[in-house]
Amino acid sequence: MFNLYNIIRPNVQRMKAYSSARDEFSGTASIWLDANENPYPSDYNRYPDPQQREVKRLLAEIKGISPDNIFLGNGSDEAIDLLFRAFCEPGKDKVLLFSPTYGMYKVCAALNDVGILEAPLTADFQLDVAKALAICEAEKPKMIFICSPNNPTGNLIPQDQILSLAHTFPGLVVVDEAYIDFTPEGSMLPLLTANSKLPTAHSPLPTKNLVILQTFSKAWGLAGIRLGMAFASKEIIAIFNKIKPPYNVNQLTQKVAIQKLQAADELRGKVDEIVSERKKLIQHLSPLEQVIRIFPSDANFLLIQFQNPRHVFERMKEKGIILRDRSQAVPGCLRITVGTPAENESLIQALSQLENRPFTLSPQLQERRARIHRQTHETDILIELNLDRRDQHEFSTGLGFFDHMLEQISKHGNIGLKVQVKGDLHIDEHHTIEDTALALGQAFLEALGSKKGISRYGFLLPMDDALAQVALDFGGRPWIVWEADFHREKIGGMPTEMFYHFFKSFSDTAKCNLNIKAEGQNEHHKIEAIFKAFARAIRMAVAKTGDDSIPSTKGSL
């Protein structure tokens, strides 16, 4: 059961808020000598209203909610930061995110020393509610962040999915609706109040643990004034107010916001134009050969998977068109904001011209990557592999020793590798290790593509107290030779019989020959040497030769 007082940080609960001069007296007077301001009149010599009453009054009318349910901050980024500071104990508490998503949740968590639990979105970027609930049950996060429509994927998350989480989860569910005005689906705001116009089977009552974030930076066209909104129960809003800096929204911002709110009916026209331009971009960009896929969007941007995103990014930059490279978050993807009709026209033209030009991308800019999401009843595996960029390396298989071995592959293979596995470890380690190897092999197969320009072979003989030899050929046929005996049943919780199985499974799906031999006394050294040698062999085999041909007399691999 959700109880706000179980999740608020005890120091926040105990502390007394700062009370500013303008909080203590806000009536009318002729002489103000209470705030150490400069007495000589100018437009700005007085502090602004710390509670932004007029902005909230106008906003409350538009949103159909009471001003007491509204917090205003220096962008919704301020609300995100305050949530961490109000509810998460540094070094102890955790939050759950659905990746890929907006980067500030992670940044604020890191800044506040709060643990991050990540549940990958499904292949079509939706929530896996059952999995999220299982993580909540096991790890007890304080807050769940859901971005809907999600940045950078662009899709809306259905309300009933969010509600089914909110109704079971005993912490806060934060729904970031920064892009909500670009979708025909309504906001979740009505669910905050008792007189909800949208009672659902799930929600006849206000949802007490819901915090909804919105912003003036997107549909309202006011990113420059830095004004964000959080909507929640009066009790939660009171906590925001208790810990916020006294004058967090300046007078210029309040003034512009009031003008815009008074002319709120102008908003719809601009938003409709952006939505129809979004459609136009989809129509014109979909047929381009460079474009692999445009993901459905409910926002003012498109996530587009390109044959070669780096090439597109660089060529557009040369033309003065700046796109956002999100390929670290979703392989192969750039995020493109919908511009004015003229800007979109220029973009369409520039991208179409690119099609007519020979593919001149220098080999250094072409990245070979793959994202594999493999789901069975036994395991759920997400692998992101980048053979040309090392900056991503993350491992969570539930088996510490296995993570350590995978880390060897990334480090010594000089490749970017992210492996997230939720496996049936309560049964044993078998499926987790085998399926990871299968998915990893598949990732190599996909990332290597035609295998043009690769060295193809790799081998190494590193020596420790152990001697390990791994010879490898990405030649298109699976084969394994394994000559390595282990005399212990397990090393670091990993069954030694699974080592052979790991490499066999990898060779099956990567379609490579592996010839592995090892000898030595120390079992830990022996297997670590094998993984390191394997990594070095990969590094040699995937290295680019600089010659763009297929390394086979057959002409294909």
Binding site for ligand PMP (CB under 6 A): 75-77, 102, 147, 151, 176, 178, 215, 217, 223, 228
Residue (of 238, 203, 527, 542) closest to 389 by Cα position: 542
Closer by beta carbon to ligand PMP, 176 or else 435: 176
CB of 176 vs ligand PMP, minimal distance in Å = 5
Closer by beta carbon to ligand PMP, 218 or else 511: 218
Residue (of 8, 71, 7, 54) closest to 233 by Cα position: 71
CB of 469 vs ligand PMP, minimal distance in Å = 50
Closer by beta carbon to ligand PMP, 223 or else 461: 223
Q: How far apart are CA 154 and CA 124, in angstroms?
A: 11
Structure token pair of residue 403: 């993570």
User: DSSP 3-state assignment of 551?
Assistant: coil
Q: How far apart are CA 364 and CA 496, in angstroms?
A: 39
| Residue listed under structure tokens 């209470």 | 34
Q: Where are the extended beta strands (E) located within 332-412? A: 333-337, 369-375, 379-386, 393-396
CA 376 to chain centre: 23
Closer by beta carbon to ligand PMP, 248 or else 505: 248
Q: How far apart are CA 133 and CA 141, in angstroms?
A: 10
Residue (of 476, 475, 471, 525) closest to 503 by Cα position: 471
Closer by beta carbon to ligand PMP, 212 or else 510: 212
CB atoms within 10 A of CB 255: 15
CB of 215 vs ligand PMP, minimal distance in Å = 3
- The H helix count followed by the E strand count for the chain is 17, 21
Closer by beta carbon to ligand PMP, 77 or else 380: 77
CB of 502 vs ligand PMP, minimal distance in Å = 39
CB of 75 vs ligand PMP, minimal distance in Å = 3
As beta bridge partners, residue 303 has: 335
Q: How far apart are CA 447 and CA 474, in angstroms?
A: 12
Judge if the upstream peptide bond of residue 10 is cis by omega within 30 degrees of 0: no
Q: How far apart are CA 538 and CA 204, in angstroms?
A: 57
CB atoms within 10 A of CB 28: 5
Closer by beta carbon to ligand PMP, 151 or else 509: 151
CB of 123 vs ligand PMP, minimal distance in Å = 21
Closer by beta carbon to ligand PMP, 120 or else 413: 120
Closest residue to ligand PMP using C-beta atoms: 75
CB of 232 vs ligand PMP, minimal distance in Å = 16
Closer by beta carbon to ligand PMP, 179 or else 534: 179
Q: How far apart are CA 408 and CA 95, in angstroms?
A: 29
CB of 74 vs ligand PMP, minimal distance in Å = 8
CB of 358 vs ligand PMP, minimal distance in Å = 36
